[in-house]
């Protein structure tokens, strides 16, 4: 009996803590979006910026590997590698 009530409280606590953190997370996502908007307003290409961020996050070895693979595939189907 009491178990159910207590479990309910615990569950609600979990739920509310998660909701609070998700709000924080959303707030940070907003800030990031604002920075992209500002960068765009100053003439930067946000797609290229995202690419830069992705590369910096990746293991350099993996980057090289993917690049090689792309070249390999392009050659394999007879596309100029550029």
Partner DNA sequence: CTGCCATTTTACCGGC
Partner DNA sequence: GCCGGTAAAATGGCAG
Distance CA 54, CA 67 (A): 14
Contact 33, 25 (CB under 8 A): no
Q: Which is nearer to DNA, 5 or 56 (CB)?
A: 56
Interface stretch with DNA, choices 2-10, 31-39, 74-82 (CB under 7 A): 31-39
Closest approach, Cβ 58 to its own copies, in A, equals: 10
Contact 40, 33 (CB under 8 A): no
DSSP readout, 10-55?
HHHHHHHHHHHHHHHHHHHHHHHHHHHHHHHHTT--HHHHHHHHHH
Interface stretch with DNA, choices 1-9, 33-41, 71-79 (CB under 7 A): 33-41
Which positions lie near its own copies, rule CB under 8 A? 3-4, 7-8, 10-12, 14-15, 17-19, 21-22, 24-25, 28-29, 31-32, 35-36, 38-39, 42, 44-45, 47-49, 51-53, 55-56, 63-64, 66-70, 72-79, 82
């Amino acid at each position: 009996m009491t178990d159910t009530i207590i479990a309910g409280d615990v569950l609600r606590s979990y739920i509310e803590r998660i909701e609070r953190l998700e709000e924080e997370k959303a707030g940070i996502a907003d800030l990031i979006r604002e920075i992209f908007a500002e960068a765009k307003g100053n003439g930067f290409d946000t797609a290229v910026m995202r690419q830069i961020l992705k590369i910096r996050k990746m293991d350099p070895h993996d980057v090289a590997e993917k690049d090689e693979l792309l070249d390999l595939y392009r050659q394999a189907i007879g596309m100029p590698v550029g």
